[in-house]
Structure 1
Amino acid sequence: MDLSANALDQSVKARAARVASVAAAHADDVDRGGRFPREAVDAMKSERLLALMIPAEFGGEALSYAEIAEVCTTLGQACASSAMIFAMHQIKTSSLIEHGRGATWHEGLMARLAAEQLLLASATTEGGIGGNLRNSICAIDVKDGRCSLEKDATVISYAKHADAILVTSRSNKDAAPSDQVMTVFLKDQYTLEQTHTWDTLGMRGTCSDGFLFRGEASAEQILPHHFAEIAAQSMLAASHLLWSSVWYGIALDAFVRAQSFLRAAARKAPGSQPPGLVQLAEMSASLQTIRSTVVAGLSTFEKAHHDADRLSSMAFAVAMNNVKIAASEGILPIVHQAMRICGILGYKNGTPFSLGRHLRDAHSAELMISNDRILGNTSQMLLVQKQDTSLLG
């Protein structure tokens, strides 16, 4: 039987490319309608991308964060909303893996995630606390081996389409706002009452509506580590690195469109230099800077991965914060330059060089989590953190 190359190539790179092709075909419609990218997520499940990080002993492929980041970039070039959903799912998966090992229920969930390709979502924001995920107002109630929780979650990305949601709360009704836990609730264990609608400039397909979340489950579904540890040792780095990889993908596709535009212009006027060629060179340098920043961040994380003290250190937090700041602030100038190069064909929708979606999606980067909040936290740490003055660290 004559099998196609696609059928034969089961590498992660090829699988991600096939998902990206599906995502790209629907990206404009997803953006225009502000709808969930069902086709792309179904393709992710079909290609078994949702369990890439799950340890092999539970049926996953045990991919590294760098390999996951590569998939984020591949998808980011096709549809930023689809890529961000993939990234956010992997961030929650990392919390489950790093902080659920040794707990029977959570290890069982890992096996289910691999077998059934479950989609994980997150509810860390809450009315009354702004964007400070390290504080909670709501508190989980534990009684007779059961837990219950009600949370005014102002944003839960793709909540209506998730198979489980990881929710933060105070550890009990008498706990301080920063004394938090994270609990996994399966789809049949909670209800969602919509309170806010996600009608935004960009990242429209993430469908990050607000909900009043009410859940009840077994108490063993509470992750066995305090959320402070989860945030510092896995969530901080995974969020900043995987988000940045998505943003790099957006900028990379903008560059490719500008490059294609200039190549077409050069073919029409052989021997002449099309306007915008120098800007393309500047974009290339900027892209390399972002890429190098993300790659260096991934390397720093991998070196610190199994060292809890290092992961919780101020130096590590500053390094991860800097990756997020550099990537989120670096992509907008690249997309702007691409639009200047492509001109009206970049400004218009429906052309091979359209960049409106890229520009709007890129604006989300500085707001997830707010760069002002991150810079404020970093500045406080720098008052006591000694700066590394070496080149290689």
Structure 2
Amino acid sequence: MRAEQTNDPGDSPRERMRRVAAVAAEFADAVDREGRFPAETVAALKRERLLGVAVPVALGGEGLGIRDVADLVVQLGQACGSSAMIYAMHQIKTSSLVMHGTDSAWHRAFMQRAADEQLLLASATTEAGIGGNLRHSLCAVETKDGRFSLTKEATVISYGMHADAILATARRAPEAEGSDQVLVVIPADENRSLERTSVWDTLGMRGTCSDGFHLVAEGDAAQILPKPFSEIAAQSMLASSHVFWASAWFAIAADAFARAQAFVKQAARKQPNAMPPGALRLSEAAAKLQEMKGHLGAAIARYEAALGDEEALSTMAFAAEINALKVASSEKAAEVVRHAMLVTGILGYKNGTPFSVGRHLRDVTSAAVMISNDRILTNTSTMLLMSRFDTTLGD
């Protein structure tokens, strides 16, 4: 069933996201306090037809590129961190379909349906027994007579109970190695069941509702993407994950900075002849925020330049650059928010004030553990043993 758009369809995605962000801001504190799914935000995203913006125009979407989508994540993230992370993760899954599903009739039809019905896509890549190793699976797809079946103990499926489809990783077959993986699209229908096995009760990002699930699914074997997951991960999922996650963290830091800036401005108006105590730390925070913005923009440009070139997307140098974005952004975002709290003092520490940044601080602590920085640095160190660091400053 087509999701109806109630506003002017001629409005730009940015204008439509502005309206969604207003809804998200209204409910952000309640979503965080209650640890509940931001249903109002997702309803607004569907109403404004912003879930399918990256789907090709020929399949009913708007064909937005990674930079435009990242900008939408930043807009939303300044209103609600959980909402932005949900939107980012949805767009990561969409990017995998767009880059690797266009040669498959089933996946083209699914993308068309996703854009038409504004489907929310989730991911099931983690699994009991493998830790956070994205590139290893214990569960396996079994295929017979053109059908597949899959059972997975997923330790985390963000917003799984609310998703319209889940993209799950698994071994290609029961006899396959753990790294020989495929990605399967599993719509929410009678062929899929989810049994909750753990509850998402966390410090931050509480609204993502990333519960654990016993996932059982079956369906048409055509739902398995034709490319190996190793290629999907290297050529789209790695880069889009780090870019969109970094966009969400940048947005959280930017909103915390804006609150600190408003605090300093208020203090300056009260004492126009004296420099407010927090002004120096505000300048330090601004420098760190600018570093984040510059790094994110450079990474997006690097990704855009490599798009369409599978060899370039699969190089160790590219992976190392994108890994660096994730680690640096996660660390810088937390630094900016901590500076904002020092600037705003007790009014930033307290909930319910115009300068509150407690939710921001708790949300941004997730950045270092969404895939562990230590795991990423370990992977990068291996790459650096086999590649040279590019010192050129031009293209």
Q: Deviations over 1:327-364 (max 9, x none)?
A: 00101111111101111100000000001100000000
Q: Which amino acid is 2:353 matched to? A: T
Distance 2:210 2:370 in 1: 12
- Residue in 1 that maps onto 2:102: 101
Alignment match of 1:341 (pick from 318, 324, 343): 343
Identity of aligned residues (%): 57
1:136 aligns with 2:105: no
Equivalence map 1:321-336=2 (5 Å): 321-336=323-338
Deviating beyond 3 angstroms after TM superposition, the runs of 4 or more aligned structure 1 residues are 6-9
Unpaired segments ≥5 residues, structure 1? 1-5
The TM-score, its normalising length taken from structure 2, stands at 0.97
Quote the residue 1:83 is aligned against.
84
Match of 2:3 in 1: none
- Number of the residue aligned with 1:194: 196
Residue 17 of structure 1 pairs with residue 49 of structure 2? no
CA distance in 2 between counterparts of 1:8 and 1:112 reads 18
The one-letter code sitting in structure 2 at the alignment partner of 1:272 is A
Quote the offset at 1:392 in angstroms.
Answer: 2.2
- Structure 2 distance, partners of 1:270, 1:390, is 46
Q: Distance in 2 between matches of 1:144 and 1:104?
A: 18
Distance in 1 separating the partners of 2:66 and 2:376: 22
**3-state DSSP of counterpart to 1:216:** strand
Structure 2 letter corresponding to 1:78: A
- Output the CA distance in 2 between the equivalents of 1:345 and 1:281: 19
For 1:62-121, what per-residue CA distance to the aligned partner results, in whole angstroms no more than 9, with x for missing partners?
A: 001000000111111000000000000000000111111121110001110111000000
What's the CA shift for 1:267? 1.1
| CA distance in 1 between partners of 2:240 and 2:12 (Å) | 23
**2:45 is equivalent to residue 44 of structure 1:** yes
Helix, strand or coil at the partner of 1:363: helix
Distance 1:357 1:109 in 2: 36
- Give TM-score, length-normalised by structure 1: 0.98
Query: Using the alignment, how far apart are the partners of 1:361 and 1:159 within structure 2?
Result: 19
Alignment of 1:364-383 (within 5 A): 364-383=366-385
Who is 1:164 aligned against?
Answer: 165
Helix, strand or coil: the match of 1:131?
A: coil
Q: Distance in 2 between matches of 1:391 and 1:48?
A: 39
| 1:299-310 to 2 correspondences below 5 Å | 299-310=301-312
Deviation at 1:13, TM superposition (A): 1.1
User: Partner residue of 1:260?
Assistant: 262
Please give the alpha-carbon distance, in whole angstroms, between the structure 2 residues aligned to 1:250 and 1:392: 30
Amino acid at match of 1:218: D
Question: In the TM superposition, what is the alpha-carbon distance from 1:389 to its structure 2 partner?
Answer: 2.0
* Cα deviation code 1:214-254 (max 9, x no counterpart): 00110000001000000000000000000000000000000
**Pairs within 5 Å for 1:182-221:** 182-188=183-189, 189-221=191-223
CA 1:318–1:112: 2 relative to 1, 3 Å: same
Q: How does 1:273-284 map to 2 (within 5 A)?
A: 273-284=275-286
Deviations 1:182-206 (A, max 9, x none): 0001101210111111000000000
Q: CA deviation at 1:388?
A: 1.1
SS in 2 for 1:157: coil
CA distance in 2, matches of 1:358, 1:386: 37
Which one of 285, 289, 295 corresponds to residue 287 of structure 1? 289
1:155 matched to 2:156: yes
Report the AA paired with residue 340 of structure 2: A
Query: Could you say what secondary structure the match of 2:137 adopts?
Result: coil
Shift of 1:386: 1.1
Report the counterpart of residue 229 of structure 1 in structure 2. 231
Tell me which amino acid in the other structure corresponds to 2:56. Answer: P
Shift of 1:385: 0.5
Match of 1:3 in 2: none
Q: 1:43 to 1:165 in 2, by over 3 A?
A: same
The residue aligned with 2:63 is 62
- Partners of 1:301 and 1:7 lie apart in 2 by 32
Deviation at 1:302, TM superposition (A): 0.3
Deviations 1:12-37 (A, max 9, x none): 11111111110000000000010000
SS of 2:215's partner is: strand
Extract unaligned runs of 5+ from structure 2: 1-6
CA distance in 2, matches of 1:270, 1:324: 40
Shift of 1:8: 8.6
Instruction: Find the aligned partners of 1:78 and 1:298 in 2 and give their Cα distance.
Output: 23
Q: CA deviation at 1:178?
A: 0.2
SS state at 2:287 partner: helix
Q: Give 1:7 shift.
A: 5.1
C-alpha distance in structure 1 between counterparts of 2:231 and 2:9, whole Å: 42
Partner amino acid for 1:118? L
Q: Which amino acid aligns with 1:187?
A: A
Which residue type is aligned with residue 233 of structure 2?
A: A
CA distance in 2, matches of 1:100, 1:245: 25
Question: Per-residue CA shift, 1:133-174, capped at 9, x if unaligned?
Answer: 100000000001110000000000000000000000000000
